[in-house]
Amino acid sequence: MSLHLEHDADLTALNTFGVPARAAMLARVDDAGELPGLFAAIAGQGLPWLALGQGSNLLFAGDPQGIVVQPVLAGIAVTGESGGRVRVRAGAGESWHGLVEWTLAHDLCGLENLALIPGTVGAAPVQNIGAYGVELAAFIGAVEAFDVGAGVLCRLEPGDCGFAYRDSRFKREPGRWLITAVELDLPRDAEPVTGYAGLGAELAAAGVTRPDARAVFEAVCALRRRKLPDPARIGNAGSFFKNPVVPALQAAFVRDHHPDLPCWPAGAEHVKLSAAWLIEHSGLKGHRIGDAGVSDRHALVLVNHGGATGAQLLALARHVQDTVQARFGVALEPEPVIIGAG
């Protein structure tokens, strides 16, 4: 199979919230060479399209329009080594966590702090995923993508990707790019990043005094499993809101009234605030409206208790935003892509 088309496709199992949604057509592609013909046909019909990986960073508030394209491009391989770093190429359809495990098994480090982030390799650069003090952008060697407008496969260098906090060119130019593979430059040995909230304490509790990449990986997995609900057990898309980055003066004003609000430097004139703290201290941790809820384990996570629709989860998200804005004067921005919001 290089291109498989399914009409009236049920997407309920293809989004980690587990909300009902249907696509008029779902195209699964395992050969990038099929993309020019596929997108020529899409353009010829004047159809909108949506890229779908594992559905771990989106919310179907309604059915998607047009055609859903799911790249199931596979393969992980070392393609070279230079300057103390090893180049690894991974297909867009590979599991992100599976790739992290693969790199550790091949004695490569750098990605261990990004363990257990749900989703595919192809989705990772779109969001510039990050966790526990590490961002993917630090390891990107190149991103291979199909330029829908030009109808050609491209290879973008890191400087062409426009990476920022939970952001990228691919996110800011929706409808233009379909990522087909990611190339990473990874060290064989590097000082582990252990200074982020709770990670050092987790390592110490495990009796690790000189952590290596494997120890950090195990600690991150333990933290995420303890703090975050498993999408296989209760529908969710992980962290639903970004940590807000605000001007330093605004942060100082908020912290003057709430000195225990966690914050981190975000450049010379801005500060990053903890969205989870803001939500929890707005009284919303564990709050639910029907089957749409804020997790009682982590206030940053919205969950589907079983029968919530995407529209109901979106309404809850907006309630959270409105409540935090009214309480603290801080605007929260969703991390997931919202589909079909009207």
Catalytic positions: 166, 239, 335
The β-bridge partners of 246 are 271
Q: 257: burial class by Cβ within 10 Å (0-12, 13-18, 19+)?
A: exposed
3-state DSSP assignment of residue 108:
coil
C-alpha–C-alpha distance, residues 91 and 43, integer Å: 25
Please state the φ and ψ torsions of residue 127, each to the nearest 5 degrees: -90, -10
Name residues whose C-beta falls within 8 Å of residue 26's C-beta, 6 or more positions apart in sequence.
Answer: 5, 6, 9, 11, 52, 67, 68, 70
Q: Amino acid identity of 97?
A: H
The DSSP result for 28-52, as a single string, is EES-GGGHHHHHHHHHHHT--EEE-
Instruction: Read off φ and ψ for residue 44, nearest 5 degrees.
Output: -60, -30
Please tell me the distance from the alpha carbon of residue 126 to that of residue 166, in angstroms, as a whole number.
Answer: 8
